[in-house]
Amino acid sequence: GNQHKVDANVLLLGAENVGKSALTVRFLTRRFIGEYGDIESIYSHTDKTDGREISLNIWDSLYPQSCETTESISDKQLQWADGVILVYSICDRSSFEVVRQQVQLIRQTRKLSASAPIIIVGNKRDLLHQRAVSSEEGRLFALSADCGFFEISAAETYHGVLLVFHEILDLIKESRALK
Ligand code: GDP
Ligand code: MG
């Protein structure tokens, strides 16, 4: 039947250079290319494996250049999204601060549906020797903000990226079932 079908809009947010595009491309192609440029795009993806049919749109966003004057997330993005993945780099503390600010902004502006899940992702886990944010700090913040949490390396493996997208799709499905 059609009961496993998901049609969802997933928004990727976070500071620049944290690996939003690397995550997106890894999920879509299973590959890590290394250079992605500054491109903002919405990708559509459908896949059918293990009786699980996936259909989603991914908005790979760009963090605005002059964030002091511009809000870092537009209302349009939040109204579009059924779920949000907030990415930081475990070796860039300022990118973790951006995630904190963006969670606060999302909760305050209330443009994102209240039932829409948010997952926080600490990326670049392979760069352990440069770690600036501990796993525990990331996990505790996510817990306090009622968000999911993963640490992954888009550069090293496809598996972690896949888990993140499966989790957000499962949560979106659950949130719809509760309505
Ligand atoms: P975006 O600006 O958030 O879209 O970041 P990009 O996806 O363009 O990635 C920024 C840089 O970080 C690129 O040079 C990527 O190759 C690199 N990068 C992305 N993910 C990882 C990762 O998991 N580990 C490492 N070591 N580098 C990564
Ligand atoms: Mg990018």
Convert the pLDDT of each residue in 111-150 to its tens digit: 999 999 999 999 999 999 999 999 999 999 999 999 999 9
pLDDT higher for 69 or 66?
Answer: 66
CA distance 10 to 162: 14
Beta bridge partners, 13, equal 86
CA-CA distances (angstroms) from residue 173 to 6, 48, 109, 169?
A: 7, 17, 24, 6
Distance from Cα 155 to the centre of ligand 1, integer Å: 7
ipTM of model:
0.99
Model pTM?
Answer: 0.95
CA distance 154 to 49: 21
Q: Which long-range contacts (CB under 8 A, 24 or more apart) does 162-167 make?
A: 162/27, 164/23, 164/85, 164/119, 164/121, 165/10, 165/27, 165/56, 167/119
The two beta strands, 83-89 and 41-49, are unpaired
Give the side-chain half-sphere CA count within 13 A for 142: 24
Distance from Cα 17 to the centre of ligand 1, integer Å: 6
Q: Take atom 20 of ligand 1 and give the residue whose Cα is closest.
A: 19
Query: Is the beta carbon of 26 within 6 A of some atom in ligand 1?
Result: no
pLDDT tens digits along 166-176: 999 999 999 99
Q: Take atom 18 of ligand 1 and give the residue whose Cα is closest.
A: 19
